[in-house]
Structure 1
Amino acid sequence: MTTVVTKGELDDAVEKLQKKFHEWKEMPDIINSAVDNLKWAAVANPPALAAYQFSTGHRDTAQEKLGELFDLFQQILDGISAPFTFVDFAEHWQGVAAEIRAAHGEQDRSDVSVDGFWKGNAKDRFQASRTLQVKAMTSVHEMADKVHTNFIELAKSGLDLYVTVFDKISGVLSKLVTAVEQTGSIVFSYIGAPNMVAAINDAISAVGGIIAATSKSIQSQMIIADSFAYVAKNPWGLPGDRWPESGSDAFDGVSENGKEKWEVA
């Protein structure tokens, strides 16, 4: 059974992710500030000067790596609204399926059934027409259900991406903050500066991998979506891509002027 994705879930995931992106975007200034603290302390302080010189190279590498990470963030932000569109489309197709079920239900009403009331060619023609109508309804309902499911799967891929990236970069950001604090310390800068770069590399690797996995999943889902073009061409129950005629204009139930006449059973 397909997991339902709601706009509320997407809103919540997007809001959390955007806030976390904002926290990451503040890191370049925080890193510069930490290393600058060593710079000011380096005046007439050989240990501080050595720590500052050691940290500057790692700072520059960290800033460059953050640029790479922010490019990955931008890829996510560029498509942030797509899952909402997929949910909208899924709802529309679910509405189509509901209308078809309602129409099918009308066919089964006892007060419109001709069984036991009429006979002859007219009744036979009507029953044949009804069979074609039901076949068309079944075909289109199945099509609507498949399209709805596919759009929900696409929306779920987006939701999973936002949730997974949020969880990953939240954990890495905590490590980065600790490393930056160590970098600003004369004693711990030799530990913090390399860890600072390592944390950002971890984030790049993780986010890049998540995006790649999501893209692969979406590509497979788009292959399914492409197949709908063939499903929609001359679908079962709709010969010539047209809804079957009801045949109602072939009967008048009264006259004999070229039309078939209803016969009471």
Structure 2
Amino acid sequence: MPSTPPLSPSAVVTALRTAGCVFAEDEAELLLATARTPAELAAMVDRRATGLPLEHVLGWAEFHGLRVAVEPGVFVPRRRTEFLIDQALVQAPDARVVVDLCCGSGALGAALAVALGTVEVHAADIDPAAVRCARRNLTPYAGRAHVGDLFDALPAGLRGRIDILTANVPYVPSAEVALLPAEARDHEPHMALDGGADGLDVLRRVAAAAPEWLAPGGCLLAETGEHQARSAVEACNDAGLTTRLAVSDEAYAHVVIGVREQRPGP
């Protein structure tokens, strides 16, 4: 069988640009560096040209300084969510128990494990494919990933012990899912995108149960959209958490932070 002729860098850029990739030069550089053979490079370029997310083609995504494994059909961690990690580290720099709820690839749990050092990390998702991917990313940090619906997936022994609870819940209103870029709409799980009528259905469920799972002083952090931010804060306040909104104009990120207050001393 004849071998596949190697694609030149310029040919890769041209193929990606023709397919509509805005950052064709940057993507070409990553594909050329990742492919091990000319045949693999050609296949990767073809897959990207058909609209598959770059991270699914590469098999990894860059997130908070890490290369996180991302398998086909699993939600791709967004760079703006790095702001959530930064806020978690400011809020709870001495955290020892971390839970990554609605974990997808487990990127948030892995990033926190690296930043915090010795820490107990758990992740959970309702999608078995996501949990398999999260296990790959958390194993180096002795993290555990569980399949199930929100808190139902977690070991009961975590109740009242969680210092940082990240919940990168789906928050796109149902009517707006069809308006998302094709890369997300066509290649990521619908359940990881659709947050219900106003986008806050899952967040409300998480906030309502969070106080009994958080340690005193523990915090819940959830990303939300700009136009939902006020309602998201209200949902966390209604659950009994002391809540504030952190905003990064640069990353266009909005993170709701709800804290379970410390019990008064004797």
Q: TM-score, with normalisation over the residues of structure 2?
A: 0.23
Which structure shows the higher helix fraction? 1
* Structure with larger RCO (C-alpha < 8 A, sep 6+): 1
Which structure shows the higher strand fraction? 2
